[in-house]
Amino acid sequence: MTTSKFYLPDVGEGLTEAEIVAWKVKVGDTVEINQILVEIETAKSLVELPSPFAGQVTELLVEEGVTAEVGMPIIIISTVGHAQLSSPTATMAQAAMANEVYFTSDSDVDGSQDAGADEGSGSVLVGYGVGGHAPTRRRRGGAPSAAAAPAAPTADEGPSFEESEGTHGSDESMATAVAAPASPKAQPARRPQSASAVGGPVFAKPPIRKLAKDLDVDLSQVQATGASGEVTRDDVIRQASQASVFRNIQTPAWSQEREERIPVKGVRKAIAKAMVHSAFSAPHVSVFVDVDATRTMEFVKRLKASPDFAGIKVSPLLILAKAIIWAVRRNPSVNSTWTDKEIIIHHYVNLGVAAATPRGLIVPNVKESQEMSLIELAQALEQLTLNARDGKTSQADMLNGTITITNIGVFGMDTGTPILNPGEVGILALGTIKQRPWVVDGEVRVRYVTTLGASFDHRVVDGDVASRFLADVAAIVEEPALLLD
């Protein structure tokens, strides 16, 4: 008898455990390669694990609700008479787990993992790819290419995070590659169309399906604008925005249950631990300032129209990020770490951006942001938020931050008193930017105004330094041309 054990992988680059939330299969079920086996929750996100085996489930080794350690076997699958991953793919899958054992096979014959499997069978574990050519997907409503093999559909949803702002859609992270047509000029222009309009299946990568589920969007009603007829992130966000007006005016009925009890675990447990540690170990002090952001809004408008920024997400947050980096250079002590023995002043900026996701708050950071041009910083911020939304933020991305920015303005908030990210001594909150009456040269005019709020660790940052730092940031928001100095 040939059996294969599936070991809990390290899906978060450094995470040591995960909770088994829900099994998607039961003993006796026949499973295929890439079929979702189990849903797990880590300290970062909810993740679905696909099967690297085809076979029959013989035993579930960990019950739902139990926390398992990375490397622990969680399921056994009998693979007799079933194809398994080809050797190159299996090798890549194991390498991707950073030397962790992801799956093994036990055979009473010779221990061979791929007995009877075709070397070129094309079996692909979602998320790992293959060592050979990338398969292509047939265009919707068109004939399949004679030189391209259709990719296996990936209907199961993958982990995803949603940020507070819409972002420019990107299909670079698709598990199954979509090949570009050989000759763009030979392809007729394709109109966006919904799946219901053509009566066919919906093509969308797993993170997009998860995003649609989180936003309560019916993918069959979404107009697909992807190059190969797939639904993109922007398509889902656009559909959600159109429906949000109607959803927001609806008030749900009171629940029939008098109380609801939510277990403290996963991301929420990690957030709680970090915030309590920060609030009770660092004496916070907060300062605020109202700022005329009219010229920042004009600058953002010009950048959006610039060919150099074509396809790059540009927002006031980009200008504020650049302002923080500039102000840190003038006030380096706000970019420090406190220890019981010394204060470590960092002469580099790993700029953290607080991202609100359905799973909770995470703070990934842009490494060495002080070395980046405005375009490079815009691209880095966009990639950071895309990774957070798709649940691809690595543990390394959230380590060694030096100062943080949080954009509460996207929720319509004027300001707040943010809590420091542990290990840092400064955090700045950007409030909503809206038109208000503002005195200019003795006259009341309508200007775009925002409120900046910042919190500091008073053990490191004195009141005068905190005030100078915030004043420097405000100066850039009021006049972005100062960045040219």
DSSP for 383-449 reads: HHHHHHHHT---TGGGSS--EEEEEGGGGT-----PPPPTT-SEEEEE---EEEEEEETTEEEEEEE
> Cα 455 vs. chain centroid, distance in angstroms?
26
Point out which residues pair with 67 in neighbouring strands.
19
| Cα gap 430→433, rounded to integer Å | 9
Whole-number Å distance between alpha carbons of 295 and 480: 7
**Nearest CA among 132, 111, 120, 118 for reference residue 82:** 118
State both tokens at 392: 């691809």
For 460, phi then psi, to 5°, come to -110, -45
Helix H or strand E encompassing 193: strand 193-194
Inter-residue contact 85 to 52 (CB < 8 Å): yes
By DSSP bridging, strand 351-353 and strand 426-430 are unpaired
How far apart CA 67 and CA 16 sit, in angstroms, is 10
Helix (H, G, I), strand (E, B) or coil at 376: helix
Active-site annotation holder among 168, 284, 346, 458: 458
Establish whether 82 is a catalytic residue: no
Who contacts 208 (Cβ-Cβ below 8 Å, separation ≥6)?
Answer: 160, 230, 231, 232, 233, 236
DSSP type of residue 482:
G
DSSP 181: P
Q: Which residues of 212-242 are buried (b: 16+ CB within 10 A; e: fewer)?
A: bebbebebeebebbbebbbbbbebbbbbbee
Catalytic residues, which ones? 458
